[in-house]
Amino acid sequence: MRASGGKNKMETIQEQEQVATESQHRNRLDKCFFGKESALKVQYDKENNRIYLGIGKKGSDNDWTWENAKLKDIEAAEIIRVIASKTEAASFFHSFNNKNTKIWINKSEDSLIIKVDDQSKKLSPAEQEVLRIFLEEVILQSFSHTRAARSSETGS
């Protein structure tokens, strides 16, 4: 079976695994969920202890436009709660880089929709599980970052 660009699925999976491995060695964790017309990317900047969420939409010229937002760890945890069906929906209003952004997360029986302003991405149950694990890891790493920062400030 061929994926886009003439590559077979195994080649595509190997490239994704290589990108994931390289990402772990940088100061950032990245995860992207691409569809035909939309994409979700989640990034954790370890150095600055920040979580970013972006929704991309494919344009007519195959270019991507992105709506991005910065998340707090509490908001990432709220997304996890929606994925785990502990609540049906969550929404946040954010101001970042002089831009106001509205983020919505809604869950139905078989899908999760994440919307940033006017752009949205629907995730399958498997994608939701990967996102949940990724966000849990990001939250855990943010705690480690906070502890390390406190230790260096106090000298202990």
pLDDT at 2 over 80: no
pLDDT at 86 over 50: yes
121: closest CA among 30, 64, 31, 39? Answer: 39
Please tell me the distance from the alpha carbon of residue 3 to that of residue 51, in angstroms, as a whole number. Answer: 30
Q: Can you read off the two tokens belonging to residue 43?
A: 């990034």
Q: Would you kindly state where each structural domain of the chain is located, as residue ranges?
A: 36-141
Hey, how many other C-beta atoms are within 10 angstroms of the C-beta on 81?
15
Q: Which residue in the block uniquely carries the two structure tokens 């290589």?
A: 18
Hey, how many other C-beta atoms are within 10 angstroms of the C-beta on 25?
7
pLDDT tens figures, 23-72: 455 688 889 999 999 999 999 998 899 999 999 999 989 899 998 898 99
CATH architecture of 36-141: Roll (2.30)
Please tell me the distance from the alpha carbon of residue 99 to that of residue 64, in angstroms, as a whole number. Answer: 20
Residue 14, pLDDT score: 67
Please tell me the distance from the alpha carbon of residue 83 to that of residue 61, in angstroms, as a whole number. Answer: 33
Residue 42, pLDDT score: 95
Residue 142, pLDDT score: 87
19: closest CA among 4, 41, 50? Answer: 41
pLDDT tens figures, 9-28: 666 666 666 655 554 556 88
Q: Give the global pTM.
A: 0.74
Residue 1, pLDDT score: 47
